[in-house]
Amino acid sequence: MAKIPDQIGKYKILSHLGSGGSSIVYLGMHPTLKRKVVLKKLNLRGKKSFYESFLQEAALMMDLNHDHIVKVYDHFKEGSRHYMVMEFVEGVSLDQFLEKADSLNHDTIRYILRCCCKALIYIHERKIIHRDIKPSNIFISNKGDVKLGDFGIAMHGGPLDKDNENTPESYPLVGTPAYMAPEQFAGKGRITPRTDLYALGVTYFELLTKQKLFYGETLDEMRRAVLKGRHPSLLFLIRSYGFNSWRIIRRCIFRAPILRFSSSKKMLRALRSFRMNDESAQEDLSFRIQSLSSKSGPVKRKSESVGKKGFSQVLGVKETTGGRLGGLVIVSVFILLLGGSLLYSGRFYQWFLPDKYGRFLLELTQDTPGDSFPLETLELYRDEGGSPRLLDQWNEFAFEKKPLVKRTGFYRLKVSWGNRVIWKSFYLPPMTEQQDEVLTVELSAPPLLSQLLEIDLLLSDGLTGQLLDPDGHVFIQSPNGEFSPLSEESMVVSGLEYLVKADLPGYYEAEFDIVLEFYQNSLILEAALKPLPGQLIVHHNMDSLSLKINNRKKIKGGNQSEDIEHFGSLNMEGGSWLLSPGIYELTWAGSGWKEKQKLTIRSEELVVFRITQDENDLPRFDIDRKQQSLGE
């Protein structure tokens, strides 16, 4: 490892923070502000594009001033090296945090996402697209602040155009494959703010599950997984994390950008539909970060650990001789704890106010066997004649099955179960009437019912657009692995994953992995099928012979992978090529002659040219045609 410099520019270097493929990062000290800063050194030479990208990141970030974005203070050049001076976030990146910490509670996860959304709103309004949202670019400070950083591949000025496209001379891809949207893999995809929201949805999934949404052992496998939407079924999110969490993630990761949230503001609004307590979430993050960074073990909160100190020291009260004041404090604390216990358990109301308070139990039931919607939100209102007054609110994680004590009277419950909302009112009698009984209010969860699908099959020739008859040629694989014909009358239900196969004579077989969510009730399969090729073979005895197709020496072939077919000068062995069905112009040339011909190639047809030289050294063409099977 190279020696760490003592000074760079006017900044004293304290330590080496890390290195990447293109930069080295140091921790430094500002000479006058006496504040720790991060110095990022560009570690590549020669290519102008690297310097331009580095300076672009510095220029972009120096203009940004937001609570949830890492600040850039300066950039400069010393010798032949470029440097950027940034805010030092004393804490960890989100990926480091996920690796070391236990599972986050859901309020804290949503707090992190809301902070990221606020940062995205800020940059998107300035026509900046980050293009690399992922846990390692999200930083959490010891105070629980969340900041978005690393704008090294950010794009300024709207949708991607030719000037913004990366070429093999710069980077093979722009972004991190596991978090890239389909349009980032598709070379000419249009990059928009919805690209960032896709990555944030993938990050949301990882925060909940601590698992990657997409996997691939190679870059090509990852690309195919993203482009085809191959990821685990998200239905378990409903059961484990709630309908709203599933809905937000599902909306973010649609392959078609038009189906995603239209803006980061709308995603933030969806995240605010949950119960929010950002102050508590920030405190939870701060505590966890400090626990991870503490060398002596987990950090203890003062309120949770008395240690060897007495109660008087914890409460900030000075003890007097004889400990009288300390004794009074202990007695007061005991009385408060006893009173709180009585209030919490409801015994206080049962003993002292039984005619004014009642007890009830909210019980979640299930009418039918099988999976059901989890509780999304439950709200308790007091019915006071006018507008009901909200008293309590629970979600699927905060709800506990235990008796509640409230003042006697009429109440209303609003229950949200996925796509169903239920209002239920009830009267709570006083405990004097209840005696030892507890009023039970049953809430029945609706089942997750699969739906019968409406099916439309539209198959066409991928070259001509001609519609094809799918009857008897499209098959669906059921969950038990068996294939059966698929038609518009087939009994196919939602909530499952299927493999659909189109196998028409004269066309390459096409397969489609289809994941149907439980709420989807229509399947439209529009498939443009690639026809099987014909084969062109040439035999000749000419002294010299060359061939061009459509005035070119190479064209895209007709096999499934569309390999390039090469023409030009032909040796005495002639040649053989697979060509897609269509009409071609053949240009033949030899010593002192040239001839053009039109040739129609049909699917699975073999066309053989035999070219012989006559007594005048001119060519004579014989053509044979026959059908053959190329489908294997």
Q: 278-292, 361-375, 379-393, 527-541: which range is least confident on average? A: 361-375
Q: Which residues contact 33 (CB under 8 A, 6 or more apart)?
A: none
**Strand-strand pairing, 575-579 and 582-590:** unpaired
DSSP 16-48: EEEE-SSEEEEEEE-TTT--EEEEEEE---S-H
Residue 555 shares a structural domain with residue 490: no
Q: What is the mean pLDDT of residues 567-588?
A: 91
pLDDT band of residue 149 (cuts 50, 70, 90) is confident
In a domain, 102, yes or no: no
Number of folded domains in the chain?
A: 3
DSSP 123-191: HHHTTEE-S--SGGGEEEETT--EEE---TT-EESSS--GGG---TTT-S-SS-GGG--HHHHSTT---
**Two structure tokens written together for 66:** 């937001």
pLDDT of res. 474: 92
The residue range of the domain holding 543 is 534-627
Place of tokens 């008087």: 312
Residue 506 shares a structural domain with residue 541: no
Please report which residue ranges of 79-192 form alpha helices under DSSP H: 94-100, 106-125, 182-185
Residue 371 shares a structural domain with residue 430: yes
Q: What gap in Å lies between CA 290 and CA 301, rounded to an integer?
A: 11
Reference 73, options 55, 89, 92, 86; nearest CA is 86
Three-state SS annotation for 504-572: CCCECCEEEEEECCCCCCEEEEEEEECECCEEEEEEECCCCCEEEECCECEEECCCCCCCEEECEECCC
First to last CA, the chain: 57
Widest CA span in the chain = 134
Q: Indicate the SS3 state at residue 155.
A: strand
Res 294 pLDDT > 70? no
Q: Check which CATH number belongs to the domain holding 467 and give it.
A: 2.60.40.1120
Tell which of 425, 445, 465 closes a domain. 445
Q: What is the mean pLDDT of residues 178-195?
A: 84
Highest mean pLDDT among 51-55, 184-188, 279-283: 279-283
In a domain, 475, yes or no: yes
Q: Where are the beta strands (DSSP E) in 312-366?
A: 357-366
Angle at 198 between CA 524 and CA 449, to 5 degrees: 45
Residue 374 shares a structural domain with residue 427: yes
Res 207 pLDDT > 90? yes
Tell which of 477, 512, 529 closes a domain. 529
Res 618 pLDDT > 50? yes
Res 425 pLDDT > 80? yes
Q: What gap in Å lies between CA 547 and CA 538, rounded to an integer?
A: 10
DSSP code for 103: P
Q: 181-190, 524-533, 548-557: which range is least confident on average? A: 181-190
At residue 128, what is the residue type? I
Residue 385 shares a structural domain with residue 427: yes
Res 534 pLDDT > 70? yes
Tell which of 487, 504, 529 closes a domain. 529
Q: Check which CATH number belongs to the domain holding 592 and give it.
A: 2.60.40.2630
Q: What gap in Å lies between CA 328 and CA 185, rounded to an integer?
A: 70
Res 313 pLDDT > 60? no
Res 620 pLDDT > 70? yes
Residue 466 shares a structural domain with residue 546: no
**CA torsion, ordered 536, 541, 542, 546, to nearest 10 deg:** 20
Q: How many CB atoms lie within 10 A of CB 547?
A: 21
The more confidently predicted of residues 90 and 2 is 90
User: How big is the chain by its Cα radius of gyration, in Å?
Assistant: 35
In a domain, 185, yes or no: no
pLDDT of res. 321: 42
Q: What gap in Å lies between CA 87 and CA 62, rounded to an integer?
A: 11
pLDDT band of residue 187 (cuts 50, 70, 90) is low
Q: What is the mean pLDDT of residues 439-458?
A: 81
pLDDT of res. 408: 92
Q: What is the mean pLDDT of residues 151-173?
A: 50
Cβ(107)–Cβ(275) below 8 Å: yes
pLDDT of res. 297: 43
Residue 467 shares a structural domain with residue 492: yes
pLDDT digits (tens, 9 = 90+) for 6-45: 888 889 999 888 776 567 888 999 888 788 999 888 776 6
Res 417 pLDDT > 70? yes
Share of the chain above pLDDT 70, in %: 81
Residue 426 shares a structural domain with residue 357: yes
Number of helices (H) and strands (E), helices first, in the chain? 14, 35
Q: What gap in Å lies between CA 10 and CA 13, rounded to an integer?
A: 10
Question: Is 132 one of the annotated active-site residues of the chain?
Answer: yes
Q: Was 40 annotated as part of a binding site?
A: yes
Share of the chain above pLDDT 90, in %: 26
pLDDT band of residue 529 (cuts 50, 70, 90) is very high
pLDDT of res. 189: 59
**CA torsion, ordered 115, 120, 121, 127, to nearest 10 deg:** 160
515-535: b (≥16 Cβ within 10 Å) or e:
bbebeeeebebebebbbbbbb
Place of tokens 């066409």: 460
Residue 604 shares a structural domain with residue 619: yes
pLDDT band of residue 394 (cuts 50, 70, 90) is confident
Q: Which of 6, 63, 67, 132 is catalytic?
A: 132
Residue 463 shares a structural domain with residue 539: no
Cβ(286)–Cβ(142) below 8 Å: yes
pLDDT of res. 244: 82
Cβ(42)–Cβ(81) below 8 Å: yes
pLDDT band of residue 111 (cuts 50, 70, 90) is very high
In a domain, 480, yes or no: yes
The more confidently predicted of residues 39 and 497 is 39
Residue 615 shares a structural domain with residue 548: yes
What does the mean pLDDT of the chain come to?
A: 80
Residue 540 shares a structural domain with residue 496: no
Q: What is the mean pLDDT of residues 607-611?
A: 92
In a domain, 289, yes or no: no
pLDDT of res. 491: 79
Q: Give the pTM.
A: 0.51
In a domain, 257, yes or no: no
DSSP code for 304: G
pLDDT of res. 307: 35
Q: What is the mean pLDDT of residues 327-342?
A: 52
Res 624 pLDDT > 80? yes
Q: Indicate the SS3 state at residue 327.
A: helix
Q: How many CB atoms lie within 10 A of CB 166?
A: 17
Highest mean pLDDT among 99-108, 226-235, 338-347, 426-435: 426-435
